[in-house]
Structure 1
Amino acid sequence: MLSSAATATLNHLLAQADWARVRLREHAGAAADLTVGGRVLRLGIAADGYFCAPAPDTAPSVAIVLDPAALAKLPDGVDAAMSQVKISGQADLADTLSFVFRHLRWDSEADFARLLGPVIGRRAHLAAAHLARAVPETGARLAANAGEYLTHEGRLLIPRKELAAHAEHLRQLRDTMSRLDKRIKRLGTATPGND
C-alpha cells in the first residue's frame, strides 16, 4: 500500500516534468531499490518514463539508501538532503535517478488551479509560497527577540560583548598567573648566598 502511494506520488510529479520522463525512458525495464528508514521501495521504470511495479524476477540495478538524517535536511533544500544519500549500482542509471530526484519539483500552482480554478488556484499557490517563506522568517525573528529579552531584560544570558570582555580578562589573568608562577619557581631555585 505504501509503495503504491509512493509510486503514485512520484508519477504525479513526473507527469509535470516531461524532461524527467525523457531521461527515465532510456532505462525502461530497469529497477531500483529505494530504502528509507529501513523500509525498501522497489521502483521499476516503464517504457513511458513513469515508475511502476517491477516484474517479480527483476533484480534492482541500483540501490538508493536515504539516511533518516537526510529527511531532516529537506527544509535546507534537496541538495542538502541528497548529500546524505548513498547510491550504488549501475552508474548511468544511478546518475539519472540522482539528477531526476534532485531536480523534480511539485508544480503546486497547476494542482491548485485544477482543484480550485485558475484564479483561486493562483492565489492559493501564492499564499502557500508566502507562508513557506514567512514561517522560517518568523521563527528567526522570534528567536532573536527571545535572545534579546533573555540577555537585556531578564539578564539570564550574557551579551556577546560582555562575554568577550570577560574572556579577554580571564586570558590576561591566566598570563599574569603564568608569569607569577615562573617568577616563584625562579626564586625557589635561586641559591641562598646570592640574595
Structure 2
Amino acid sequence: MLKPLVTRFLQHITNQNNWSRAYLVAFAGKVVQFDFTLIKANLAILEDGSLSLAGEAAEPDAFIHIPPSLALRLLTKDEAAKMQIQIDGDAHLATELSKTLRQMRWDIEEDLSHLVGDITASKLGETTQKMLHETKKQTVNIAEMLTEYWQEEKPMLAKKRHIEQFNHDVDSLKSDIARFEKRLQKLTQQTSNSIES
C-alpha cells in the first residue's frame, strides 16, 4: 500500500523537477540503498530518469550509510558531516543521486492549485512555507541541542577540534615510529658491522 504511494510521489517530484532526468537517465536500472541504521530504503532509477521505490529484494548497486547521529549533524548544516557519509559500491552513482535529490523541490502550490484554485493555493502555499520554515528551524535547534548534549554531557559525539587533534597526534606518532625504525635499522647495521670486524 505504501510503496505505490511513495513511488507515485517520487515520480511526481521528478516530473516537477524535469531537469533531474538528464542527470539520472544515465543510471537507469540502478538501485541505491539509503541506510539510516533504523530504516533502509532502496531507490530505483527508471528508464526515463524518474525514481521509484525498489523492493527489499532488489540488489543495490550503491549504498549510502547515514547513522542517526550524523543525520542530526546534517540537519544543522554541518559541512564536516557530509564528508563522513559512508558510500559503498558505485560511488559515482550514489554521489550523483544524493546531489540531485538535495536540489529537488516540491512545488506544493502547483499541486494545490488543481484542487482549490490559484489564489487559495498561493495563500496556503505561503502558510505552508512559513510552517515548514518554522518546523525546520525548531528541528535544527533540537538537533544542535542534542549534538551539544552528546558532546558535553554524555559524550557520544566527538568535537571537530578533538578529531583534528587526534588526527594530528596519529600523524606525529606515525612519523616518530618511522624515525625510530630508521634509527633502529641504522643501529642494527652498526652493531652487525662491529661484530663482523
Q: TM-score range by the shorter chain?
A: 0.5 to 0.7
| Partner Cα separation in structure 1 for residue 65 and residue 27 of structure 2 | 20
SS of 1:26's equivalent in the other structure is helix
Q: Counterpart in 2 of 1:28? A: 28
For 1:9-48, what aligned pairs fall within 5 Å after superposition? Answer: 9-48=9-48
Q: CA deviation at 1:28?
A: 0.6
Q: Counterpart in 1 of 2:105? A: 105
| Partner Cα separation in structure 2 for residue 116 and residue 73 of structure 1 | 38
Calculate the TM-score normalised by the size of structure 2. Answer: 0.56
Q: CA deviation at 1:30?
A: 1.0
Q: CA deviation at 1:56?
A: 8.8
Question: Which one has the largest radius of gyration?
Answer: 1
Aligned in 2, Cα 1:95/1:132: closer, same or farther, shift over 3 Å?
closer
Amino acid of the residue matched to residue 33 of structure 2? Answer: D
| Partner Cα separation in structure 2 for residue 104 and residue 2 of structure 1 | 21
Amino acid of the residue matched to residue 121 of structure 1? Answer: A
Amino acid of the residue matched to residue 104 of structure 1? Answer: M
Aligned in 2, Cα 1:7/1:64: closer, same or farther, shift over 3 Å?
farther
Q: CA deviation at 1:101?
A: 1.8
Amino acid of the residue matched to residue 93 of structure 1? Answer: L
Aligned Cα root-mean-square deviation (Å): 3.5
Q: Counterpart in 2 of 1:65? A: 65
Aligned in 2, Cα 1:52/1:128: closer, same or farther, shift over 3 Å?
closer
SS of 1:49's equivalent in the other structure is coil
Amino acid of the residue matched to residue 61 of structure 1? Answer: D
| Partner Cα separation in structure 1 for residue 57 and residue 137 of structure 2 | 50
For 1:31-180, what aligned pairs fall within 5 Å after superposition? Answer: 31-52=31-52, 54=54, 59-72=59-72, 76=76, 85-133=85-133
Q: Counterpart in 2 of 1:7? A: 7
| Partner Cα separation in structure 2 for residue 15 and residue 78 of structure 1 | 30
| Partner Cα separation in structure 2 for residue 74 and residue 91 of structure 1 | 19
> Does the Cα contact within 8 Å between 1:69 and 1:84 map onto a contact in 2?
no
Q: CA deviation at 1:46?
A: 0.9
- Unaligned runs of 5+ residues in structure 1 are 139-195
| Partner Cα separation in structure 2 for residue 89 and residue 28 of structure 1 | 16
More RCO (CA 8 Å, sep 6+): 2
* Number of equivalenced pairs: 139
Q: CA deviation at 1:122?
A: 0.6
- Unaligned runs of 5+ residues in structure 2 are 139-197
| Partner Cα separation in structure 2 for residue 127 and residue 20 of structure 1 | 27
Aligned in 2, Cα 1:123/1:28: closer, same or farther, shift over 3 Å?
same
> Does the Cα contact within 8 Å between 1:70 and 1:83 map onto a contact in 2?
no
* Percent pairwise identity: 27
